[in-house]
Amino acid sequence: MPLDTEHNEVLAHKDQWRRADDAFAGQDRIKASGETYLPKLSGQTDERYTSYLMQTLFYNASKRTVNALQGLLYRKPPKLELPGKLNEFTDDITASDMTLISFVKWVSKEVLKRGRCGILASLNDTEERPILAGYLATQITNWRLGRIDGHSMLTHLRLLEPQEITDPEDRWRTITRPRYRVLDLVPGEEGGLSLQVGLYVRNPDESASPEDQWILDPEEDINPWIATRGGTDVPFIPFTFVNPSGISPDVEEPPFLDLVDINLDHYRLDAFHKHALKMCGLPQHWFAGFEFEETESEDARDEGTSLDRKVAIGADYALVAKDPAAKAGMLEFTGAGVTPISTEKEKDEERMAALGARAIETRKSGVETAEAMQLRHQGEQSTLSEVAGSVEDALRNSIGHFAWWAGVSADGEFPSGAAVELNRDYYAPSITPQMLGALVQARQAGEIDQETFFYNLERGEMIEEGTSVEDMQTRIEAQVPALMILDTEVA
């Protein structure tokens, strides 16, 4: 089987990833895809199709939705703690100046966008330090699981790593060549399992047989190699799959694929709508019974037609015809032919809002209760909570691998003293002036205690984060003398 053969589940989901990638990339990518998302109309020439394409707007609810939900996920800072000497890596967890919090945000956004990514923990040979590396869904091309000691383990993994190199024919430009990192569990020399890593590139010999299309990268001094830590073979593949609902290798569809597909449908409807407005929105002059001098068309689209006449339109002179039955008029669209398209666009916008597009959601008229608002957002909160849980599990697993490389964890387990907790509070209940007044009145009347009063203010996010009820009481007491002195001075 060729090295670049992709797993069946990858092949089954590639089109979904492509649609999601293109939608999140925005209007330029969508329009550059041409007929992939906007087919030509029947009989439409290339020139007219270009005009048809350029007048269409891609209303990017997909990107705005994911950005809004990512914002909700990090509305409150996550709790990320690494113990002991691991803490020194939080400012650069990848050996490429990416902080741990930035890496976590990258992982969660990839899961929201494509529904999949991966994390490889390895050792940076140059700096001799552990690192975490993130891989896109499209880079995780193939894998196998094996049953070892009663457990399912990852025994084979292929990761596509595009590599920038100098063009051999032009030293002033770079080209991208595919390179595969292949990780295998192989029998160790002293029993057990050992991790073998190889880097493969395409064979420059075009006459090579099919089985020799890929060769070990000749630029690597040792290839393949047995990965070790302090002389000890690595007995597992330190890679973690990240999906919306967990960390299994199973491929899931992007969590907002339905939204993407509706967004693309909205794009096509906008094309129909703009085309209809162009064809019907501008009145068309017509003449019957007049004799005009024929002229040659300057528009290649009208070659061969006998209807082409150049007629000046305006009030500076009159049109005179010898034929008493001659007529002139204007064709103008009437009826509701365009309205159903506009209505269907609005329905798509409502559907996108219902699927989580809070960023484009129309404000409801009137006052909405907090309970009703929570109910409307329960679906997206459920998705975010599931994604947050999956990202937490993946990070705990990856940090365990990271700690193993650093010599902190003996078995690759999540190290003691470490913490990974993402925000689960996506809805900020607001306290209305009426509610605040009622709370103050109840406290003044002694109907609720100070702790209950403080709890409600804290829940409504009217208290600075990290402030305790004792802190608030201390601040109040510290202000009383100052206020009394100020009143005395003013008097």
What DSSP string runs through 325-353? T-EEEEE---SSSSHHHHHHHHHHHHHHH
As a whole number, mean pLDDT of residues 166-187 equals: 89
Residue 199 lies in a domain: yes
Q: Are both 129 and 99 inside the same structural domain?
A: yes
According to the model, what pLDDT value does residue 482 have? 45
Q: Are both 105 and 159 inside the same structural domain?
A: yes
Percent of the chain with pLDDT over 70: 80
Q: Are both 414 and 477 inside the same structural domain?
A: no
Domain count, the chain: 2
What residues does 200 pair with on adjacent strands?
A: 180, 216
Q: Are both 165 and 120 inside the same structural domain?
A: yes
As a whole number, mean pLDDT of residues 339-355 equals: 85
Asked whether residue 36 carries a pLDDT value surpassing 90, the answer given is yes
For 359-411, write each residue's pLDDT tens digit: 334 444 444 555 555 555 554 567 888 999 999 999 999 999 999 999 888 77
Residue 129 lies in a domain: yes
Q: Are both 405 and 453 inside the same structural domain?
A: no
Q: Are both 17 and 106 inside the same structural domain?
A: yes
pLDDT grade for 488, boundaries at 50, 70 and 90: very low
Residue 398 lies in a domain: yes
Residue 452 lies in a domain: yes
Q: Are both 85 and 164 inside the same structural domain?
A: yes
The DSSP code sequence of 60-127 is -HHHHHHHHHHHHHTSS--EEE--GGGGGGTT-SSSSS--HHHHHHHHHHHHHHTS-EEEEEEEETTT
Residue 469 lies in a domain: yes
According to the model, what pLDDT value does residue 359 have? 37
Q: Are both 411 and 448 inside the same structural domain?
A: no
Residue 360 lies in a domain: no
Which is higher by pLDDT, 198 or 210? 198
Among 421, 443, 470, where does a domain finish?
A: 421
DSSP assignment letter at 476: H
CA atoms within 13 A on the CB side of 411: 2
Among 421, 452, 475, where does a domain finish?
A: 421
Q: Are both 95 and 69 inside the same structural domain?
A: yes
Asked whether residue 304 carries a pLDDT value surpassing 70, the answer given is no
pLDDT grade for 122, boundaries at 50, 70 and 90: very high
Residue 401 lies in a domain: yes
Q: Are both 157 and 242 inside the same structural domain?
A: yes
Q: Are both 139 and 170 inside the same structural domain?
A: yes
Domain range enclosing 442: 433-490
Residue 476 lies in a domain: yes
What residues does 181 pair with on adjacent strands?
A: 159, 199
Q: Are both 400 and 482 inside the same structural domain?
A: no
According to the model, what pLDDT value does residue 324 have? 79
Give the 3-state secondary structure of residue 392: helix
According to the model, what pLDDT value does residue 242 have? 97
